[in-house]
Structure 1
């Protein structure tokens, strides 16, 4: 049996990335930690996010993880460099899809829906400087959306009202491409499709992260060769709450253990 891949996020949003990893690499054993006791990371200080990321990484490595995926834009911005300097293994982070969005826009106007922490990070500023010099980028922090997804509210009145408020200024600015800059937001695509003009493109990075992980593991022949992978879940919040939303977000039920760190 091959050693597992560890994946973590501030909450259940990273399940959008886990889905892509599972689709691309069905033979891999996967470990998923939702740090829901501390969600949302986007409103927390970077020092706290680094501390949580280190402790969760240590926990996943204790469970046998041979690679780590930070399925969280905010955690990547705050902690990926420190994790890479601490642990000798493939560590894949995430960042808002500025480069593909800049390539996809037809009118040169790109909107970014993300957490406050991601938008204020030096990593995001560097992304804009590197890939968005020829386009106009409009950013929109989205407090409250992560909490809706954590509760499994993907279609209700509250989430629709929040999305309407956050999308409206981007539409008024003329954006034809929107970056979903938080792993929780892909779960809201059906509602966004309802409220946006059909020619507005939605771009996220879950599939690209899965492909990068596959490439890194394939470089040194460390991809699982046979079988169907197992998936195990932990939450630092209420395991029953996460178990309740797994059928909605993961597509099937699963047992969730209490994260001991």
Structure 2
């Protein structure tokens, strides 16, 4: 039996990482756990996030996951060190693509769209210090982006207005590279590209995370034999998740979609 890859997130944003793993490793079974009842993690206290993430990890470990992707920047900042010290399996975390952005910029200004917790954390400031020397990094928390994705509202006048409100100030400040520092945000990338225009680079780290997972599996992913299993768990509404899967994960046919009560 093929042990699955586990993916956890504060909500549905980590499905963008699941899509990358599906593309790169189509034969790997995956169990996804989205904590939509507590989404977003961004405004929450780090200790609260850590407790929640550990509880979710316990569920994934019970399901025999061989590796867990923390598909959430806020959760990575708050919990990855504790997880690696507690469990014997590998963990892959997220961090904003500041390093490649600093290489790409020609204006010398990079804009980072992220959550409050990601931007306030010491890890982000260290990332900027280590990899963006001489580059102006301006940031903007975008909790409304998370709400749009959790509701499946990826287009339309209201979504565009929210994207314009968050991105235009960064562009007006001279940013020619935008970093999507939350796994929810790639679902809004087409709209961000529309607002930003063709001359702005837009970066996220989903593909890099998928390649890191493959590397940790010693570059030997299970071949796609047509019977790959996907399970999607949520602390939120099962019916909402079920209705959004065709939009967020086109072509995905989960074996199971279920509500999970973390208090059980």
Q: Is TM (by shorter chain) over 0.5?
A: yes
Partner of 2:243: 244
Q: TM-score, normalised by structure 1?
A: 0.96
Superposed, which structure 2 residues align to 1:203-222 within 5 Å? 203-218=203-218
C-alpha contact (below 8 Å) 1:25/1:214 kept by paired residues = yes
What is the deviation of 1:134? 2.1
What is the deviation of 1:194? 1.3
Superposed, which structure 2 residues align to 1:57-96 within 5 Å? 57-96=57-96
SS in 2 for 1:140: strand
For 2:240 and 2:64, how far apart are their aligned partners in 1? Answer: 26
What is the deviation of 1:143? 2.1
Runs of 4+ aligned residues of structure 1 deviating over 4 Å after TM superposition are none
For 1:260 and 1:66, how far apart are their aligned partners in 2? Answer: 23
Partner of 2:257: 256
Partner of 1:42: 42
Deviations for 1:180-225, whole angstroms, at most 9, x for unmatched residues? 0000000101111111121100000000000001001117x6x325
Partner of 2:5: 5
For 2:91 and 2:174, how far apart are their aligned partners in 1? Answer: 37
For 2:203 and 2:210, how far apart are their aligned partners in 1? Answer: 15
Superposed, which structure 2 residues align to 1:137-176 within 5 Å? 137-176=137-176
What is the deviation of 1:257? 0.6
Alpha carbon RMSD of aligned pairs, Å?
Answer: 1.3
Q: How many residues align?
A: 259
C-alpha contact (below 8 Å) 1:6/1:32 kept by paired residues = yes
Structure 2 residue 231 is the aligned partner of structure 1 residue 224: no
SS in 1 for 2:179: strand
Partner of 2:123: 123
C-alpha contact (below 8 Å) 1:70/1:76 kept by paired residues = yes
Partner of 1:32: 32
C-alpha contact (below 8 Å) 2:168/2:196 kept by paired residues = no
Q: TM-score, normalised by structure 2?
A: 0.95
Partner of 1:233: 232
What is the deviation of 1:145? 1.2
For 1:74 and 1:156, how far apart are their aligned partners in 2? Answer: 28
C-alpha contact (below 8 Å) 1:90/1:217 kept by paired residues = no
For 1:56 and 1:137, how far apart are their aligned partners in 2? Answer: 33
Deviations for 1:113-163, whole angstroms, at most 9, x for unmatched residues? 011111001111110111011211010111211011001000133322211
